[in-house]
Amino acid sequence: MTAILSATGITAKHGRNTVLHNVDLSLKAGEIVTIVGPNGSGKSTLLRVLIGALRPTQGKVTRKDGLRIGYVPQKLHIDPTMPMTVRRFLDLPKPVSDDAAAHALSTSGARDVHSQQMASLSGGQFQRVLLARAILGRPDVLMLDEATQGLDQPGSARFYQQIDAVRRELNCAVLMVSHELHVVMSASDRVICLNGHVCCEGTPDVVSAAPAYRELFGTGTGGALALYRHEHDHHHHHEAAD
Amino acid sequence: MLDDFMFRATLAAIGTAISAGGLGCFVVWRRMAYFGDATAHAAILGVALALLFGTSIFLGVGFIAFLMAVLIFSLSGKGQSVDTILGVLAHGALALGLVAVTLIPNQRINLDAYLFGDVLTVTRGDLGIIWIGAVIVALVLWRHWTALLTSTLSPDLAYAAGMNPRREQLVLTLLLAAVVAVAIKVVGALLITAMLIIPAAAARNFARTPEQMAILASGIAALAAFGGVRLSLLMDTPVGPTIICVATAIFAVGAVSGLVRRAA
């Protein structure tokens, strides 16, 4: 299968600092790829390069013709002076039908909020509405930048389950950035470990065993790995039951 | 009817108000008040230029406001906070304009007319320019509405949707320059920002969506313009400041009723 999105030799700056060095990445249709890395490793910068918000100083991003991106930002600050209902927010950037809006909200696990003001939503509801908006454009790829920041652990686990459900319905690729290793890795086809450059890359098994990964995440890796294995088993079980 | 100076003044004020109301929402949402000040204050420099070369005031003001807007736009792309620089530009431009106006030989002008507006002297030609400007601003705003709104919420969301938020910011900047040129005769350089911000702030209390807020802001601005012109005639007060007073009163009523509603 050919890549729907690929980046080759990306070097990019955040302010004056070069935070990405010669990064290669490619994404196939329907694939779930997770980018993990410590703070300041350039994860968000890489995502911003991929959506076209940041021009790399070197390298090239190639997208499949007409590639539709559904982007869920790390956080979205809506100025309190701007009134915004959930329903109106879902009409950005393109107006959608009431049916489509209701369906997207229920797929994202945020029913019954459509007439509320965005400012009145809880953290979890807000992230789900962001997810609903992102999937309304029928994206080929869903990109999530630390989408569970500010959620507690059960909350973020539920959010990732929701993403899995969304992906099954839309059959889109998912590219996630996260530092929550065990939760996100369990659902990934491929993990990219980033620290300014690609340290290692492969299936969750390969990456979590890689020396470069262990070096980056240190002693916590053992525990995370155990948890990961557990959830991975569980996940397969679940799929078999389906 | 256009022969009646009061009728012309009212029409000019309402035309300005409608274009300022909608655009003012973006000024509020994006926290561009200082930006508005800088562009508006530069207008006095434009007046000096127009007097010096004997051209139309609209042309001089529009030209200088345009230059200022583009200057601020390019500064804002540097990624740093430009608050201080905006403050310097806003007040520097005002001071420079005030000095420049007095330096022009053989001119004895009434500065108040440009600082606080002089809508009662609006001619038929002025009225035409004001309304053409207002309609252009409204049309551009309407066409760019979704892109402007998305870019205002989050530039990254706009990029991901294939929009160019930098271009939208430039559009907004140019519209602001156009409103400054339109409004100089009505409320004057010092109160243009007030005309942008106060109706939008008043509308916030009653709106549930951005569109409602923009339409309400235009309506409130038009009401303030109409009421301000009438009231200034009745009380023999300067028109521009009276319009702003009415707008502020509407804001106060809205804010208080909002408080009461929430407390109830």
Query: HSE of B215 in the Cβ direction (CA atoms, 13 Å)?
Result: 7
ipTM of the complex model: 0.86
Whether residue A156 contacts residue A183, with contact meaning beta carbons closer than 8 Å, is answered with yes
Enumerate residues 6+ apart whose C-beta is below 8 A from A223. none
Residues A230 and A153 in one domain: yes
Residues A99 and A200 in one domain: no
CA of A91, closest CA in chain B: separation in Å? 9
User: Does A84 contact B at CB distance below 8 Å?
Assistant: yes
Residues A188 and A95 in one domain: no
CB contact under 8 A, A92 and B149: yes
Whether residue B50 contacts residue B185, with contact meaning beta carbons closer than 8 Å, is answered with no
pLDDT confidence of residue A166:
84
- Which of A82, A85, A115, A126 is the best substitution to test chain B (most B C-beta atoms within 10 A)? A82
Handedness of CA A109, A115, A118, A122 (dihedral sign): negative
A chain contacts of residue B200, beta-carbon cutoff 8 Å? 81
Is CATH 1.10.10.10 what the domain over B5-263 is classified as, yes or no? no
Tell me the average pLDDT across B66-93.
Answer: 82
CB pairs under 8 A between A and B: 72
Left, alpha or beta for B126 (phi > 0: left; psi -120 to 50: alpha)?
Answer: alpha
Q: How many domains does chain A have?
A: 2
B197 vs B262, more confident: B197
CA of B75, closest CA in chain A: separation in Å? 15
Q: Which of B140, B138, B60 minimizes the C-alpha distance to B101?
A: B60
Buried b (16+ CB within 10 A) or exposed e, A153-183: eeebbbbbebbbebbeebebbbbbbbbbbbb
What whole-number distance in Å separates Cα of residue A181 and Cα of residue A204?
10
User: Does B156 contact A at CB distance below 8 Å?
Assistant: yes
Q: What is the pLDDT along chain A (242 residues), one digit of tens a residue?
A: 578 999 999 999 887 889 999 999 999 998 999 998 888 888 889 999 999 999 999 999 999 988 999 999 888 999 999 999 999 999 999 999 999 999 999 888 888 898 999 999 988 899 889 999 999 989 999 999 988 777 777 877 788 888 888 888 888 999 998 876 666 666 788 989 898 999 888 888 788 778 877 777 764 544 444 334 434 343 433 333 33
pLDDT confidence of residue A237:
39
pLDDT confidence of residue A224:
44
Query: Token pair of A226, please?
Result: 């155990």
Residues A53 and A147 in one domain: yes
Helices (H) and strands (E) counted in chain A, each on its own, are: 9, 9
Buried b (16+ CB within 10 A) or exposed e, B45-80: bbbbbbbeeeeebbebbbbbbbebbebbbeebeeee
Please state the pTM of the whole predicted model: 0.88
Q: Which of B157, B169, B152 minimizes the C-alpha distance to A93?
A: B157
Domain containing A62 equals 1-68+141-242
CA of B173, closest CA in chain A: separation in Å? 19
Instruction: Single out the residue in A105, A122, A138 at which a domain terminates.
Output: A138
pLDDT confidence of residue B145:
96
Give the length of chain A: 242
- Tell me the residues of chain A between 183 and 242 that have a Cβ less than 8 Å away from chain B: none
CB contact under 8 A, A69 and B147: no
**At B263, which amino acid appears?**
A
What is the four-CA torsion angle of A151, A156, A162, A164, rounded to 10 degrees?
A: 140
Q: Please, what is the angle between helix B57-76 and helix B83-103, to 10°?
A: 160
Instruction: Single out the residue in A121, A138, A155 at which a domain terminates.
Output: A138
For residue B230, name the pLDDT band (cuts at 50, 70, 90). very high
Enumerate residues 6+ apart whose C-beta is below 8 A from B35. B27, B72, B86, B173, B176
User: Does B205 contact A at CB distance below 8 Å?
Assistant: no
User: Does A61 contact B at CB distance below 8 Å?
Assistant: no
How many CB atoms are closer than 10 A to CB B88?
A: 12
What whole-number distance in Å separates Cα of residue A157 and Cα of residue A41?
23
Please give the distance of CA B55 from its chain centroid, rounded to a whole number. Answer: 22
Residues A96 and A202 in one domain: no
**Residue A21's CATH number:** 3.40.50.300
- Tell me the residues of chain B between 35 and 74 that have a Cβ less than 8 Å away from chain A: none
Residues A199 and A92 in one domain: no
**At B93, which amino acid appears?**
A
pLDDT confidence of residue A149:
76
Residues A128 and A145 in one domain: no
For residue B259, name the pLDDT band (cuts at 50, 70, 90). confident
How many CB atoms are closer than 10 A to CB A233?
A: 11
**pLDDT tens-digit series, residues B140-149:** 999 999 999 9
CA of B128, closest CA in chain A: separation in Å? 33
Lookup result for tokens 């949402």:
B29
Residues A134 and A53 in one domain: no
Order of all β-strands in the sheet with A32-36: A69-72, A141-145, A173-178, A32-36, A190-194, A198-202
Q: Which of B198, B168, B200, B181 minimizes the C-alpha distance to B40?
A: B181
What are the residues facing A178 on neighbouring strands? Answer: A36
CA of B166, closest CA in chain A: separation in Å? 10
Residues A149 and A238 in one domain: yes
Domain boundaries, chain B: 5-263
Query: Token pair of B39, please?
Result: 């562009």
What whole-number distance in Å separates Cα of residue B33 and Cα of residue B26?
10
For residue B5, name the pLDDT band (cuts at 50, 70, 90). confident
Tell me the average pLDDT across B108-124.
Answer: 87
- Tell me the residues of chain B between 77 and 96 that have a Cβ less than 8 Å away from chain A: 79
CB contact under 8 A, A82 and B79: no
Residues A151 and A63 in one domain: yes
Helices (H) and strands (E) counted in chain B, each on its own, are: 12, 0
Residues A157 and A217 in one domain: yes
Instruction: Single out the residue in A138, A166, A183 at which a domain terminates.
Output: A138
Query: Is the per-residue pLDDT at B241 higher than 60?
Result: yes
pLDDT confidence of residue A180:
67
